[in-house]
Every structure is written in C-alpha cells, then in structure tokens.
Amino acid sequence: MEDHTDTQEHRLILITGPSGAGRSTAIHALEDLGYEVIDNLPLSLIPRLIEGPPLGRPIALGLDVRNRDFNATALIALIDRLTRDPRVLLDVLYLDCAPSVLIRRYTQTRRRHPMTEAATPAEGIDREIDLLAPIRVRADHLIDTSEMSPHELKAEIGQWFDPGEDRRLAISVQSFSYKRGLPRGLDMVFDCRFLANPYWNPALRDRDGRDSAVAAHIEADPRFAPFFHRLQDLVLLLLPAQLEEGKAHLAIGFGCTGGQHRSVAVAEKLAQVLAEAGWQVSKRHRELERRVAPMVTDGIGVVRA
C-alpha cells in the first residue's frame, strides 16, 4: 500500500447558508476543533489561500451574502475550481433553517436582516433563501438547525469535522436524475434505470422512493434482490479498504431517469444497511430537495424529510 503521509493538500471547508441559521456558531465550533478560521473573505481572494504550502491544519471559511463580492454563480464557479484542484480537499457545509424559525430568531434579537432595510426580516429571508438555493443543492453536508440549540449544533459539527477523530469515514449516499447530470464529487456511481419504474403506475407516480409502496414496487422486480445483495456486499467490502487508504469522505451516487423513485429507494435502503452496520452515513436526494421542504438530520446523521 502506498504511503500517503507526505501528501501535501489544503483541507478547506466552506460554510454558508441563510443568515441566522447558525453559521457563526459553526465557525466557532470549528475554531475550537483547531481549524484556521477566516470569516467573510472576499471570494476573489480565496484561491490565494492555496498558492503557498499547506498550513498544517484545516481551514474553515465562512461565506454569506455580506461577503464583498458574493453571488451564487461566482461561488459555484469557485467550488468547481477548488474541486478540480488536486492540491485541495474540499467540503461545502450548508446550514439550513426553516424560514419561520429564521423570522423568530431575527424578531427575538431585533437585528436587521442583511438583505433588507424593511422593519421585518421576512422579505430579506425569502430573497436570501432563493439566492442560495443553487448552492444548497451543491453542498456536501446539509445540517438543518431549525430545532437545534447552539450546543447541539456544535456537537453535530464535532461529529462530522473533528480532525482529531481517527478511523472515521463519513459516507454520503445520494440520489439524482441523469437528466441533470451527476452530482459533484461522487466516488462511486450506480445506474438504477434497469429496475421497474414506478412512474408508469398512476397510483405511484406522484410519490417518491421513500414511500413504502414505491419501494415495494421496485423490490418486486426480480432483478432487484440479486442487484442489491451484490451492491451491499461490494460496498461493505470496500469501506474498510477506503478507510485504511486514508479517505475521510466517500460519496456513493444512485441515478435514474427522474431522480424521484428508483434511485431514491435504493439510496434509502443502502443508507439504512450502512447505518445498521455502524457506519456514519448521510443521505441526499438532489431532485427531491428541489421540490420539498428542507430536510433535517436525525440522531445518526442521516438526512431525511
């Protein structure tokens, strides 16, 4: 096995999300974990951070609409650029929160929302959420803080990003539609379009792969059982090897035509298997996130609606 102890790379975490969702709390938590923290650095200056040698510790960058040259297109372009750079190990953390909770938080603190001069922050919150929607979809980690205290958020940050924790592998299981292309940063991709499609059943068309009836329809396909058993065995075989190789994050993607049924059901089932086997696993359903309410995180770190 190759020795990767001398590999030179910049470990970056970009933290963003709507104002009031807990970005400052997350940044302080990362600082306590030993990260070099820089808040509101102009986007145009971020590439300069990787021009020199690595600092020897990870960097956490806080980004929001108050950044001098912030816009969603520029941030997505920056994410793509850093992802392609072999010197950079990048994670994008998006802190989400229900609009009603954001309004309550701003009302309690009597602070002005950065995107509005109005007496009430509701308009600014709506504008900011719309602005950040493309970035939310591109995030590697999504934490909904709507029901979290600052202490709980700090604990969640520590679970995912503590650099002092040894032998941890954070696994992201994602579903997507091939019509919109592959999500960023997948390590393994499986095509589920060969399975029976619930879309052609009128009673199931408007549901998604998290629905038990949809899952049962897909699993009734005689090809499903041998496929999933082999998939499960393959992934469980590879995960310890990936951990030994020094990987901290592994993203597994499942695609189908619309990203609503087959890929979602398979991702759900595999995530449950991995969680039951003791692995740290999260779920992302890209196409569902575009049409449903924000997702939340449960006690084992699995993202669900």
3-class DSSP string for the chain: CCCCCCCCCEEEEEEECCCCCCHHHHHHHHHHCCCEEEECCCHHHHHHHHCCCCCCCCEEEECCCCCCCCCHHHHHHHHHHHHHCCCEEEEEEEEECCHHHHHHHHHHHCCCCCCCCCCCCHHHHHHHHHHHHHHHHHCCEEEECCCCCHHHHHHHHHHHHCCCCCCCCEEEEEEEEHHHCCCCCCCEEEECCCCCCHHHCCCCCCCCCCCHHHHHHHHCCCCHHHHHHHHHHHHHHHHHHHHHCCCCEEEEEEEECCCCCHHHHHHHHHHHHHHHCCCEEEEEEHHHHCCCCCCEECCCCCEEC
Are 235 and 132 found together in one domain? Answer: no
Q: Of 117, 133, 161, which marks where a domain is finished?
A: 161
Is residue 285 included in any domain, yes or no?
Answer: yes
The whole-number pLDDT of residue 222 equals 97
Identify the CATH number of the domain in which residue 96 sits. 3.40.50.300
My answer on whether 118 and 181 are in the same domain is no
Q: Are residues 220 and 278 in the same domain?
A: yes
pLDDT at residue 295 is higher than 50: no
Residue 105 covered by a domain: yes
Residue 110: the pLDDT is: 64
Whether residues 118 and 222 fall in one domain: no
Asked whether residue 218 falls in the same domain as residue 153, the answer is no
Q: Assess if residue 298 is contained within a domain.
A: no
Q: Is residue 75 part of a domain?
A: yes
Same domain, 193 and 155: no
Q: What pLDDT digit, counting tens, does each position of 101-140 carry?
A: 888 887 776 676 766 766 577 788 888 888 888 888 888 8
User: 202 and 149, same structural domain?
Assistant: no
Q: Tens digit of pLDDT for each residue in 38-62? A: 888 888 888 888 887 777 788 999 9
Same domain, yes or no, for 283 and 211? yes
The average pLDDT across 80-106 equals 87
Do 15 and 104 sit in the same domain of this protein?
yes
- What's the confidence (pLDDT) of residue 3? 40
Bigger pLDDT: 44 or 208?
208
Say whether both 184 and 261 belong to one domain.
Answer: yes
Q: What is the pTM of this model?
A: 0.60
**236, 124: one domain:** no
174 and 157 in one domain?
A: no
Which pLDDT does position 176 carry in this prediction?
94
Instruction: Output the pLDDT for position 68.
Output: 66
Query: Which residue among 138, 161, 184 closes a domain?
Result: 161
Report if residue 1 sits inside a domain: no
Q: What is the mean pLDDT of the chain?
A: 83
Number of structural domains found in the chain: 2
Which among 161, 186, 207 is the end of a domain?
A: 161
Q: Structural domain of residue 105, as residue ranges?
A: 10-161
State pLDDT tens for residues 250-280.
Answer: 889 999 999 999 999 999 999 999 999 988 8
Residue 244 is assigned to a structural domain of this protein: yes
